[in-house]
Amino acid sequence: MDQPTTLSARDIPAFLEDNAITRVRVDGIQPDALPIGKVLHPRKFLSSLDGDFAVADFVYGTDRMGEPGFGFSADWRSRVVGDIYLRPDLATLRLDPAAAGLATCFADALDVNRNRVPVCGRGLVKHLTERLNGLGLTSKFAFEIEGHFFERSFGENRANGWTDMVPFGVDSHVAYLAQDHHRLDPVMTEICRRLDLLGVPWEAWNAEAAAGQFELNVSPDDPLSASDHVIRVRQVCKEVAHERGLSVTFMAKVSEDYGNGLHVHHSLLESDGLNTGEPVMYDPDGPDQISLIARQWLAGLMATLPGSTSFMAPNPNSFRRVVPFKAVPTHATWDIDNKSSAIRVLNGSASSARMEHRVGAGDLNPYFAAAIVLAGGIAGLEHELEPPPKFEFMAWGLPDTADSPARLPASVVAAAEALEADALLNDILGADLVTYWTGMRRFEWLSFNTGGGDGASDAPNAWEINRYFETL
């Protein structure tokens, strides 16, 4: 299966014909990271290349259960139930290994005037990448993706009320445990085969610390492509699980065991807008061997860390994993190669220097995660900020004392309030997105507290699993 490289609109008819394509699935990504779109006849797909095609705009204003929430009304939305237009991004067009004759691609969401929809994560990442280019820089991102496999199919577990679910794998809390690879390998090998065919550059996978949990690492790429890779990994995992009578989820906390994270590694390089140059985060003569650019970038990440939590931990379930000594940052800290800190700086050499944002939960929208990192870093560069002192200690489970680093928001509502109060993020992200997002986070909190979620329990209940398991 030879995937297209760079195709122009005039190359597409031949590509469709040569590969016997009978349908093209075009996916926009709504704010809760749900792929939404249509399967198009080749004729309709070709006609959409001259413009776009429409979907009802409520899909960019409802929660994951289809309910319109706070923040639904906005200036970019029709006063009635109107349309959002999806424009295929030909750079993402791929032959889909899941079925013969199927091609797939991502799309950007536009309003009725064909302007970028403020709550479209793909468009936001493109916008912020251009803003970074204006500072003479570009970036590379890589996500560490964690998920859980379970015995029995989605349908069987749903029919069983999401009770008595059996993890697929040995019941152990030892990360990287290799004794169960004979069970995981056939599943992961098929997943990785399809990722190869889709052009998703995976690097490694391993068993993680919870029963049935795995981690899959994807190679660095530009921020938009890296975010696309996360969506494709989730989709392929679900397809393979379905075919093998298993179920899989990327929800942040599916049991009392370790939760799923989604860490964001990123680096900076010189750029003239067209060409990428040398890495710029390492300076052998700088404090901690960190360059001035990297220090300002780090300072921006730290200054915006509380507000960024709203995007990094978007649901009530996200905060169930924020437990001391369970590998989740609880306080606003950074340090050199310290996995207990919120921002981990790695600076061994010019080529390997990068930062890891470790707050992200497995249920985040990868486009918003990339965007919030870009926004924080850009704020640090544009305002020439200076980072706080590094925290050279174990940062998990710190006491809330006067000399401890500030605690990160511990709930969806607290994170939304921190985002609203963050002038730097509001300026860069725009009021339309912040107003919409914080309104929908409050609606998610309201749904949790009135719909059946149990905030007093230590583990998610059936209401949470019913809401998040299949759609994450």
pLDDT digit string, tens, across residues 355-384: 999 999 999 999 999 999 999 999 999 999
Whether 122 is in a domain gets the answer no
Give the residue numbers spanning the domain of 68: 9-117
Whether 2 is in a domain gets the answer no
Query: 8-17, 132-141, 175-184 — which one is most confidently predicted on average?
Result: 132-141
- Among 74, 93, 117, which residue terminates a domain? 117
Q: How many domains in the chain?
A: 2
Q: Which letter does DSSP use for residue 321 in this model?
A: G
Of 258 and 450, more confident:
450
Q: Is 380:299 a contact under the CB 8 Å cutoff?
A: yes
CATH number, domain at 48? 3.10.20.70
Whether 459 is in a domain gets the answer yes
Q: CB under 8 Å to 10, separation ≥6 — which residues?
A: none
Range with the lowest mean pLDDT among 87-101, 323-337, 349-363? 323-337
Q: Is 186:219 a contact under the CB 8 Å cutoff?
A: no
348 and 400 together in one domain: yes
Q: Residue 136 is encoded by which pair of tokens? A: 């003479």
Whether 1 is in a domain gets the answer no
Using alpha carbons only, give the angle 118, 127, 426 rounded to the nearest 5 degrees. 55
pLDDT of residue 57: 85
357 and 211 together in one domain: yes
Average pLDDT over residues 314-320: 95
Give Cα 127 to chain centroid, integer Å: 17
58 and 157 together in one domain: no
94 and 204 together in one domain: no
Residue 386 in this model has a pLDDT that exceeds 90 = yes
Question: Collapsing DSSP states into helix, strand and coil, what is residue 423?
Answer: helix
Compute the distance between CA of residue 296 and CA of residue 304 in angstroms, rounded to an integer: 12
94 and 139 together in one domain: no
User: The pTM is what?
Assistant: 0.96
pLDDT digit string, tens, across residues 143-198: 999 999 999 999 999 999 888 899 998 877 788 788 878 888 999 999 999 999 99
CA dihedral 89, 95, 99, 101 (to 10 degrees): 90
How many residues does this entry show for the chain? 472
pLDDT of residue 5: 67
Q: Residue 259 is encoded by which pair of tokens? A: 């939760």
